[in-house]
Amino acid sequence: MTGQGLDNHIMGILIQILPYLLLLILHHLVLAPFFFNKKLLVYVPVTLALLTAFGFYCFKMGNPQDFRQGGPGRFQGPPPMMQQGIMPPPRPDDMRPPVDSMPHPDGMTPPPDGFRPHLEDERPHIDEMRAPMMREDHHRPMRPEVMKLLIGLLLVLVDLGVMTYLRNLRTEKQVDDLRAENQRHQQRLEEMSRNAVNMQKAETELTFKTDYKQVRVKPDNILYIEGMGEYLKIHHKDSATPLVVLMSMKRILEQLPDDRFARIHKSYIVNINRMSSNSRTQVTMENGTIIPIGESYRVAFSKFISRYV
């Protein structure tokens, strides 16, 4: 194939592809947004007009002028039957012998040399010489312009389906992002509410009944709490001797700020603001008291320390 022939071939391919490309671009960038914005009164008629214009283009390009008419489309070559190697059937006049070989009134004239009349069984059948206009199943093949129009319609439907799928993916991602953001806001609100409750508990003095009297203690002054069965020994800065009260560990924890007090043993609750040091197995308070950390409380206490200290 020469260079000019190759250029013509490429140009022909581009001319065939360009209408489909323009149809896809117009539908994707102009019409599809109307569909997704639920403006069907605009999308439907404009889409039908676009497909009508595309179909008109296909039929115009697929129907050149008839070769029997004048103009540029006039037939310039042999008939289609001869192009396919099929000879037309002989006319009746062609079957007659020449005039010179016709019998004269005065006698019979022998036929010329080489003349041989056609026998009935040797004559070519008309159906064999006729150009095939339809298939053996008697179904007319689809016209190329109709095929092009159907391909354009299929292209629009495929583009609409792809955009719908992508829109659903984007919508699902947006919903997931909104859920995650809502969850973060919810956690932030819960944290703020917890901090407000803890601040209120920290500013409220605790009242304990001991030795037939009531003693008020600020939660921030408590060093640690030691459990002894049904009683608690509350070690605080305001007194050298601990307070002994009748109360459970669970109940005292409900009255203390949960961002400052942590249970590190089944018998001990400590104020992390009053710790001087801590390790994996024990805690040292600011008054020098060493308190062991229970094995079942170590993981929870480590998370507590990393969060609030």
Q: What is the CATH number of the domain that holds 252?
A: 2.40.50.1020
What six digits make up the tokens of 85? 């190697």
271: CB partners within 8 A, 6+ apart: 219, 220, 222, 223, 224, 260, 261
User: Can you give the pLDDT at residue 53?
Assistant: 87
Q: Are 156 and 54 in contact (CB under 8 A)?
A: no
CB atoms within 10 A of CB 104: 7
36-58 pLDDT, tens digit each: 888 888 888 988 888 888 888 88
Of 185, 203, 221, which one is at a domain's C-terminal end?
Answer: 203
160-213 pLDDT, tens digit each: 888 888 888 888 888 999 999 999 999 999 989 988 998 888 888 888 888 778
Regions of the chain with pLDDT less than 70: 1-3, 62-140
Mark whether 191 and 219 lie in a shared domain: no
User: Can you give the pLDDT at residue 178?
Assistant: 92
Q: Residue 268, exposed/middle/buried by CB under 10 A (0-12, 13-18, 19+)?
A: buried
The CA dihedral of 17, 19, 24, 29, to the nearest 10 degrees, is: 130
Task: Report the C-alpha gap between 161 and 100 in whole angstroms.
Answer: 78
* Model-wide pTM > 0.75: no
Residue span of the structural domain in which 232 resides: 204-308
Mark whether 233 and 191 lie in a shared domain: no
Q: Which amino acid is at 125?
A: H
**39 φ, ψ (degrees, to nearest 5):** -105, 70
Q: How many domains does the chain have?
A: 2
CA angle 224, 231, 298 (to 5 degrees): 45
Mark whether 226 and 196 lie in a shared domain: no
Please report whether residue 8 resides in a domain: no
Task: Report the C-alpha gap between 178 and 168 in whole angstroms.
Answer: 15
Mark whether 214 and 284 lie in a shared domain: yes
**Tokens 């997704």 identify what position?**
36
